[in-house]
Structure 1
Amino acid sequence: MGIKLIKIASVYLVIGILFGMFMSMTHKFGYASVHAHINLLGWASLALTGIIYYLFPNAGENTLAKVHFWLHNIGLPVMMIGLILYVNEVAHMEPVIATGGVLVTLGIITFMINVLKNVTR
């Protein structure tokens, strides 16, 4: 899972950078929260978790790692799409954002449990 997380993190990095360029070129800085979340939760967090899973194979090669991967990578796009629509004043996007956020949070909690159980000397 470590390699998969590092690879998907690089995709989020490109998306985050392109989103930043879009904001800069269009002067639509209302999307700053989307840009920040993609870079933090997509690029930085997933790259770091991927490195941890790579360095500690016991943590990276189990069901908890897979659950973390899928919760995070389903939740983050749902949350970001909801946030983009919310910024564009589409009604009733709060539950979409919250659903994505809960999935990401559950994924991160799964990561923490996995680290506490499986990251050892």
Structure 2
Amino acid sequence: MKHIATRFFVTGAIFALIGMIWGIQMSATSDHTLAPAHGHLNLIGFVAMAVFGTFYALSPTAAGSRLAGIHYLLTTAAVLVLVPGIALAISGSGETLAKIGSVLALVSMALFAFVVFRHGVGAQPGAQPQ
């Protein structure tokens, strides 16, 4: 699992499975109190990670950069902090983790924008496939 696109896709698939199980649990118990946390798990944990993985699969120069690995770790951290943070905020246990997770998610997206601007999309002319 060395290629960064694979890391994004595998992690995104795991987050999607957790989100789906969580959604079924909410439906079975008719308790949708934590739906915002569930939604963020699916949106950032699966959709954004799949978009990022697709970009890196199509852009080998960007995928080979050190920033790609940092981006993966930052996005994973954002999901792992934000989702429980939202659940804690909803339950009245404080908003600190949700705030930290939100900042991590914002920085992750800003880093993605920087990587796209820096490397473009697709293989660069003369670039060796990885």
| TM-score computed with the length of structure 1 as normaliser | 0.92
Unaligned runs of 5+ in 2: 125-130
Q: State the percentage of identical aligned residues.
A: 26
Gapped regions of structure 1 (runs ≥ 5): none
Q: Say whether 1:116 aligns with 2:79.
A: no
Within the candidate set 64, 85, 108, 1:61 is matched to 64
In structure 2, C-alpha distance between the alignment counterparts of 1:97 and 1:48, rounded to whole Å: 23
Aligned to 1:100: 101
Equivalence for 2:37: 34
SS of the equivalent of 1:30 reads coil
Are the counterparts in 2 of residues 59 and 118 from structure 1 also a CA contact under 8 Å? yes
Q: Kindly indicate whether residue 85 of structure 2 is the aligned counterpart of residue 82 of structure 1.
A: yes
Q: Is the counterpart of residue 6 in structure 1 residue 48 in structure 2? A: no
- Compare CA radii of gyration and give the structure with the larger one: 2
Cα contact 1:41–1:76 (8 A) shared by 2: yes
Counterparts of 2:101 and 2:92, CA distance in 1: 18
The 2-side partners of 1:70 and 1:107 are apart by 9
TM-score (norm 2): 0.86
AA of the residue aligned to 1:114: V
Superposition RMSD in Å: 1.2
The one-letter code of the counterpart of 1:71 is: L
Partner of 1:72 in structure 2? 75
User: Matches of 2:42 and 2:63 in 1, distance apart?
Assistant: 22
CA contact (8 A) 2:38 2:83 kept: no
Question: What pairs up with 1:41-56 in 2 under 5 angstroms?
Answer: 41-56=44-59
